[in-house]
Structure formats: C-alpha cells, structure tokens
Amino acid sequence: MSHFDYQNGVLHAEGVALPAIAETFGTPTYVYSKAQLLDNFDAYANACAGRDALVCYAMKANSNLAILDLLARRGAGFDIVSGGELLRVIAAGGDPKKVIFSGVGKSEAEMRLALEHDILCFNVESIPELHRLDAVAGALGKKARVSLRVNPNVDPKTHPYIATGLKASKFGVAFDDALATYRTAAQLPNLEPVGIDCHIGSQLLDDTPLLEALDRLIELIDTLAAEGIHLHHLDIGGGLGIDYGVAGEDQPVPAGEYLNRVFQRVEAWRAEKHDGRGIKVIFEPGRSIVGNTGVLLTKVEFIKHGEEKNFCIVDAAMNDMARPALYQAWMDMQPVVKRETTGAMFDVVGPICESGDWLARDRELPVEAGDLLVMKTAGAYGMTMASNYNTRGRAAEVIVDGDQVHLVRRREKAEELFALESVIR
C-alpha cells in the first residue's frame, strides 16, 4: 500500500493524516487512495496497450460510484453480476457497451435491462439460461451476444468459498458439456455466440492455474472453430490475488507479468494457426485493483482483559467488514499513531452480539481506549458486503486525492434503516 505510510509516526493516506479524517468524518470510515486505485488499474491497462484487449473491472469488489467513475474515465469496462450493478455503471458514466454480465441466476427483468442498454456480452452459465435469454431477446426483437462461462475443473488452491472453477461449483458449464452447449446456443435464433469465458477463483497468488485454464479455453476455441462456431473474444476472468501481509505467504504475481504471459500464449497460438483471425482478450480483475486502495479506519472503544484473552473492542464490526468472520481471512491491523510496543496480545472485536464478530485475532498491538486503528488492504469486499445487522448504519467512505478528502458516501442514520418498514394496526 504505497500511498499509505507513516509520516512523523502518524499514518497518512497520500497527503492527509488519518486522525484528521476521523475527526471530520467519524469512525468507522473506509478511506481510499485515488492514486493507488489508478496505479493498480494502469498496471493492467499498460500491459494491454497496443493489443486487442479490454479490462472489465469486477465491480462486486467495490461498487462505490466514485470508484466506478474514476475507472470509467480511465477506459475501464465492467464485469457485473446484477441489474443493480448495471444501473450503477450507468449512473457513474460508464459505457454499457463495455459491460460483461456474469452470474448464474439472471432474471428476465435483468436480461431486458441489459439488452435495452446493448451491453457487450452475457456470460451464460447454463442451458436453461440460454433458453430464457433467447426468449427475452426475441420478445424485444434483439439478438443477445453470449459467451459461455466454461468450468475448466482447474484447482485454484484458494479458500473453498472463493474457488469457482471445480466440478462441484455452482458456476459455469462443465468443460465436457461445453461443445454441446455451444451447439445449442448457435441454433437459438435470438442468440449470437461471440466469446468464451472462465473464472476459476479469487485471491490467486500463483498464475499457474490461470494459465492452465487458458490452455483449456484455447483447446475448446479450436474445437468450436472446426464446427463453424467462430468466437471473437476470450475472457480469462479475474482472481489475481493481493498481499494481505500474511506471514510466510507467497507474494502475488504482478498484474503486468501475468498479463504478458497470457498474451504470449495467445499470440503463439494465433501464430501457430496461421488463419489470420485475431481474438480480443478480456480480463475481469476486481480485488487486485481496489484491495490495497483502501483501509478501514476505526476507533478503540474499550480495552478488556480476560482470563484467557485480551480484547480490543473497536467501533467497526463484522457488519462493516465480513471477510474475517466469513472466510477466516487474516487482515493486518495497525495503530494510526505509532506507540512503543508493550508485547500485549489482543483479539480485535466489534460491538455486535455475535461471537463471530471479530476482525483480528492474537495481534500484538500497542493501543489504549480512544486510539485509532486501521484494517489495511480493506478496499475489496468490504463495503460491498456490509450489512445493517444490529441496526447499525454502514460506514462512511472517503477518497483521498493528494491533500484533498472527498466524502463519496455519507454514514447511514438509524432512521434511514427502517424508513422502508411499516407497522400494522
């Protein structure tokens, strides 16, 4: 997180001290660095320069309108998984013609919305979805561009909840069934098969499984071409991991190195075929663009010493950041103002009435009540997975740009959380 560093013992986001942000906007607050966001996106964009390629940001990682706007202005496309996410893209000024629609359960209403906005492609995940999309497109007098999400049965060696390319996964079409499914798509009158897609999992530190999946997609593209089904794009998905600071964990492969290896394989394959047909390569990064863009800023409410554990009770909780409770994820916690270490070990927990409400366990933290802490590398799957459990308003979000701070989502008020409810008399 090169744009978050200590200056005179105080943690800063770019040119702004985090205590100043806490004083102005309160806690908990998500703090993002604009420079870090654009640096991360540019690592992909620069590797794609001069090639027929498109970077579609997987907005489920972080869908704040300000984030989307900055990426859209940088030329990004978007990978969406709901109609609501498409409306976010449009509200942020993104181009629907650069949108890929993924997900296993697209409703008829979502399909209509996407067709009306002429999105780039639907990533279809089952034969029933093909038939539904064909019917919806026919009713609108349109032809839907489709790509099949093929499940290559490649082990990504990641947490089982975010492994999506194995045979037991709910996602995608089995590799052995892909040819028959493409034949079905090609025969349906209101569909146009234009691409092939896969996404094997998330937080991958080694690109070997991704390149193995790429080889399987290339094999299938050749088989389809022999049957007269010629595809125009190859979507290798996302999943590239980031450094959460876990001791002993391998460092993630840099985005540029991974993309260059993908392009080398694709270009060697095209040269071997000698048929002169190019193919667009699409990437769907999410976490690797926004993960280290943000921190979760929180205040210590109490220090509680127990018989077996010491607890650092903060005002952030599992409703603000679900990853530790959901995935048992290790996320680095640091004091905003450096203190001399005391050797005391703490579990960092929130105020929610659940034993699963923890953010970090067994951490050596020199902290006192009233101090500020940050959860680092919190820009991905933080706010997008937040909830209002215990009637807690979701955190504020700010973006730091140099020495300027922009509030891009205000904190929710309790009254807003039940404004849509009513009582019966």
| d(C-alpha 305, C-alpha 420), whole Å | 41
Residue 274 banded pLDDT, cuts 50, 70, 90: low
Of 410, 289, 341, the closest CA to residue 25 belongs to: 410
Alpha-helical segments (H) within 49-119: 65-73, 83-91, 108-116
Q: What is the pTM of this model?
A: 0.93
The answer to whether the annotation marks 93 as part of a ligand binding site is no
| d(C-alpha 170, C-alpha 129), whole Å | 13
Position 166 scores a pLDDT of 47
Residue 180 banded pLDDT, cuts 50, 70, 90: very high
| d(C-alpha 339, C-alpha 61), whole Å | 33
Position 221 scores a pLDDT of 93
Length of the chain: 425
Within 10 angstroms of residue 160's Cβ, the number of other Cβ atoms is: 10
The answer to whether the annotation marks 149 as part of a ligand binding site is no
The answer to whether the annotation marks 161 as part of a ligand binding site is no
| d(C-alpha 23, C-alpha 280), whole Å | 48
The answer to whether the annotation marks 392 as part of a ligand binding site is no
Residue 300 banded pLDDT, cuts 50, 70, 90: very high
Of 156, 223, 164, 167, the closest CA to residue 196 belongs to: 223
The answer to whether the annotation marks 239 as part of a ligand binding site is yes
Write down the architecture of domain 4-31+291-417 according to CATH.
Beta Barrel (2.40)
* Domain boundaries along the sequence of the chain: 4-31+291-417, 103-283
Angle between helices 65-73 and 83-91 (to 10 degrees): 60
What residue has token string 């000698």?
Answer: 274
pLDDT in tens, 159-177: 444 444 445 567 789 889 9
Select which of 48, 56, 198, 353 is catalytic: 353
Within 10 angstroms of residue 419's Cβ, the number of other Cβ atoms is: 9
Q: Which one has a higher pLDDT value, 71 or 199?
A: 71
- 198 is a catalytic site residue: no
pLDDT in tens, 222-265: 999 999 999 999 999 988 889 898 888 888 889 999 999 999 99
Q: Which amino acid, one-letter code, is at 377? A: T
Give first-to-last CA distance, the chain, whole Å: 54
Q: Domain 103-283 sits in which CATH superfamily?
A: Alanine racemase (3.20.20.10)
The answer to whether the annotation marks 278 as part of a ligand binding site is no
